[in-house]
Amino acid sequence: MSRNDSAQSNRHVNRRKFIAGAGAAGTIALAGCSGSGGNGGNGDGGDGNGGDGGTMGGDGTTTINIITWEEYAEMQENIESTLDGVELNITPSTSSTEMFSQWSAGQDAQYDIAVPNNNLVPRFMDAGLVAPVNNDMVNNFGSMYDRFQSFVDNQFTEDGDAYGVPIRFGWYGYSYDSRSVPDHEPSYDILFEEDYVDASLDGEIIMYDEAAKSVPAAALYLGMDDAMSGARMTFTEDQLTEIQELLIEQKPRLQGYIAPDPTFIQEFRQGNFLVGHSGRNETVQMRSEGDDWVEFVAPSEGALAWYETAVVSAASENQETAWEVINEFITPQNGAALAEAGFSPSTNPNVADELTEEQNELYGRIDPSRLEGMYSIKDIASDVEEAYISTWEEVKAA
């Protein structure tokens, strides 16, 4: 599928053998890792300082150029000490869309690895920008939660070849102020129905200012889980009309829409809302900083999972070493360091052995049964993309 078949290793991973052997852009794309665990970086990767992908130093050192979230620097020293003759050059990014835009504009040759959110990976694949996973190098794949291995099968496997490796993850549900909102059965009903809990929530609810998060939440409330189950979201135009009507009807109950996660935390602490559509890691951060009144729940209808996924450039001259680096991303030691830096769990449950009991409670091992009811956030199917964008625009304009 990639642009340069001759540059790829001939040891492409077949997913069936792999598991057995190893144990939209713009409005519609999920942008920013804070929803997905990261706090952003101070570089955009657009200045070309990544150099030529897979450079070899005069001393025999191989430099692997990576564009990813800033917390990945927490693993750099350990990876360089583990992989003899490998040096990492990490360019921080704050957006998966930014990563894709740069690679599709020709910067794929400047980087060996990118780590976008999972919903952008099919775009990298469709553009022929990424190489299939090398089974020989990524022998930690089989250590991941089964759920993420199945996500790979469903979302970015083609002709038996996987094109990405999930690294860390989180999920969206909602948070609430337990001082004002009573205990209840977790459900999206609280966001859309007035009398779901014994508390006045008019003007006390916020939603994400992103179609990629708010539209799927409305869809799951409406029971449209079938449209969320494939490689891409496949809403019909009638379903999008129903979603649009629901979100417009909800607006009088909202305090507003919110985008940056730091703003969410600040506004929540100031008491500006009581219930917020949110990611789990915002709550983890708040609780780790002493806000024991905030509760986060995954709705019974299903939570929306995101997971950062490492891909290797089809234009890289050091694909084998790049996959070796990615394999290190999901070792227990490195996965624990990344989880601690970004308040988001590793896809390898064995990180639990490297974390304290308190850390495990916040961002360590997750009971696999909790992952089974999750739907991964996805890109929208191209045949309804225009209607999808229009749906969100109409909601915001209403």
Res 30: pLDDT: 32
Above 70 in pLDDT, residue 276?
yes
Res 56: pLDDT: 55
Above 90 in pLDDT, residue 23?
no
With tokens 């000490």, the residue in question is 81
Above 50 in pLDDT, residue 15?
no
Please answer whether residues 307 and 154 qualify as being in contact, where contact means their C-beta atoms are separated by less than 8 angstroms: no
Residue pLDDT, tens place only, 30-48: 333 333 333 333 333 333 3
- What tokens were used for 386? 């225009």
Helices (H), the chain: 15-22, 76-82, 96-104, 121-126, 146-155, 189-192, 211-221, 237-250, 261-269, 280-288, 319-329, 332-342, 357-363, 368-371, 385-397
pTM of this prediction? 0.79
Percent of the chain with pLDDT over 70: 85
Query: Pairing state of beta strands 205-208 and 254-258?
Result: parallel
DSSP 373-394: TEEE--PBPGGGHHHHHHHHHH
- What tokens were used for 210? 């992103």
Res 230: pLDDT: 82
**Of 69, 137, 143, whose CA–CA distance to 316 is shortest?**
137
Above 70 in pLDDT, residue 53?
no
Residue pLDDT, tens place only, 115-146: 999 999 999 999 999 999 998 999 999 999 99
Query: Pairing state of beta strands 205-208 and 275-279?
Result: parallel
Res 33: pLDDT: 35
Q: What is the mean pLDDT of residues 87-94?
A: 96
Residue pLDDT, tens place only, 326-377: 999 999 999 999 999 998 999 999 999 999 999 998 899 989 988 888 898 8
- What tokens were used for 275? 């219930």
Alpha-carbon gap, residue 90 to 76, rounded angstroms: 8
Residue pLDDT, tens place only, 176-218: 999 999 999 999 999 999 999 999 999 999 999 999 899 999 9
Query: Pairing state of beta strands 165-177 and 275-279?
Result: antiparallel
Above 80 in pLDDT, residue 284?
yes
Residue pLDDT, tens place only, 304-328: 999 999 999 999 999 999 999 999 9
Q: What is the mean pLDDT of residues 253-281?
A: 91
Decide: helix, strand or coil at residue 134. Answer: strand
Spatial neighbors of 200 by CB under 8 A, at least 6 apart, are none
**Would you tell me how many other CB atoms lie within 10 Å of the CB of residue 256?**
13
The more confident residue out of 162 and 23 is 162
Q: What is the mean pLDDT of residues 270-287?
A: 93
Alpha-carbon gap, residue 76 to 113, rounded angstroms: 14
Above 60 in pLDDT, residue 24?
no
Alpha-carbon gap, residue 330 to 93, rounded angstroms: 20
Above 80 in pLDDT, residue 22?
no
- What tokens were used for 149? 């291995």
Confidence of residue 55 (pLDDT cuts 50, 70, 90): low
Above 50 in pLDDT, residue 9?
no
Query: Pairing state of beta strands 113-114 and 86-92?
Result: unpaired
Please answer whether residues 333 and 354 qualify as being in contact, where contact means their C-beta atoms are separated by less than 8 angstroms: yes
Alpha-carbon gap, residue 28 to 389, rounded angstroms: 7
**Of 205, 196, 150, whose CA–CA distance to 300 is shortest?**
196
Alpha-carbon gap, residue 123 to 359, rounded angstroms: 35
Alpha-carbon gap, residue 344 to 244, rounded angstroms: 31
Alpha-carbon gap, residue 220 to 375, rounded angstroms: 10
What's the whole-number average pLDDT of the chain? 86
**Of 126, 88, 370, 330, whose CA–CA distance to 338 is shortest?**
330
Confidence of residue 229 (pLDDT cuts 50, 70, 90): confident
